[in-house]
Amino acid sequence: MMPYYLLSVNSPLPVAFTYIGWGPAKYAVAVGSLCVLSTSLLGSMFPMPRVLFAMARDGLLFKPLSKMSSRQSPVIATLASGIVAAIMALLFDLKALVDMMSTGTLFAYTLVAICVIILRYQAELSEDSSLGKAEPFTVGGVLCPPFQATPRTSKNVSILTVAIVLMAVILSILISEGIDFLQALHWWSSLCVSVFVLMFTITVLLIWRQPQSTAKAAFMVPFVPWLPTFSTFVNIYLMVQFGSDTWIRYVVWMAVGLIIYFCYGVQHSVQKQRMENSQNRGSFQTITTMIGTDFWSV
């Protein structure tokens, strides 16, 4: 329609329509853009009150957020999320909000990929494994693991997964900051990247050699651990591209969430109460069994 170097970066289609004499067509593009943005905003805002409601119901957030109205709608969670969204839209510009949202989304996808690896290699707990002696860490245990998943192999996978994340961060920074040196074929830059790529690959191979869990689900991610590690690296590489301002805002936002979690969520977690009740019930049953055995022995 027109030379690419004359296109407007912010609104290429309206400018292109104006260039060929189709001026009224830009209004149709503007209406379509408004409809798409409105749909996207509503699609993002509707799940948020339900997320706050579910977290408050589980005890991770403040209890008033889990209150329902007479029409079975989380009113307080809806009002709270709307107020916070309005304040952030007032204080920050659009680019800052988009970058912050993108960082949070990529971080969430990275956690999902990491959890897929850890859960796939998690050992099934049983009474024998819980009462048995903990296995020591050995290099031979990592290189030549047993055929069945054990707590030791699960811990090895967790440690190797942390190493993969650290190497992915370093490798992403090296590629992003040294792209000019890599394009110029400087030997030291290629050597650094090659060393980290080799270490990254060896770590993934060590995870691949560990025994996987025998538990089956309706859907299981294929090509584990290769696909989750590739997803982790791609997400981290994209996150490294954001500026320092975005990371400062994201760290502050995460710090607020962690403060709420450790000061309130940990103490009021429903899952924690269930685990404590199950432990107390198990201890009571053990004591009752011991007393009954002693009584019949006498």
Q: Which two tokens stand for residue 234?
A: 């791609």
Beta carbons of 261 and 239 less than 8 angstroms apart: no
pLDDT at 92: 83
Q: Is the dihedral of CA 6, 12, 15, 17 positive or negative?
A: positive
pLDDT at 128: 47
> How far is Cα 158 from Cα 75, in angstroms, rounded to an integer?
40
AA letter at 155: K
What torsion do the CA atoms of 172, 177, 182, 183 make, to the nearest 10 degrees? 120
Q: Where are the domains of the chain?
A: 95-242
pTM of the model: 0.73
pLDDT at 160: 93
> How far is Cα 234 from Cα 170, in angstroms, rounded to an integer?
13
The pLDDT tens digits of the residues spanning 233-245 come to 999 999 999 888 8
> How far is Cα 154 from Cα 207, in angstroms, rounded to an integer?
10
- Tell which residue, 228, 243, 113, has the closest CA to residue 176: 243
Half-sphere exposure of 2 (CA within 13 A, CB side): 15
- Tell which residue, 160, 161, 177, has the closest CA to residue 232: 161
Above pLDDT 90, what percent of the chain? Answer: 32
The pLDDT tens digits of the residues spanning 88-109 come to 888 888 888 888 888 988 999 9
Average pLDDT, integer, range 118-142: 69
Q: Which long-range contacts (CB under 8 A, 24 or more apart) does 249-256 make?
A: 249/92, 249/96, 249/100, 250/100, 250/103, 250/104, 250/107, 253/100, 253/104
Residue 292 pLDDT > 80 = no
Beta carbons of 145 and 153 less than 8 angstroms apart: yes
The pLDDT tens digits of the residues spanning 201-253 come to 999 999 999 999 888 888 889 999 999 999 999 999 999 998 888 889 889 98
The answer to which of 42-56, 116-130, 174-188 has the lowest mean pLDDT is 116-130
pLDDT at 130: 45
What's the mean pLDDT when you consider all of the chain?
84
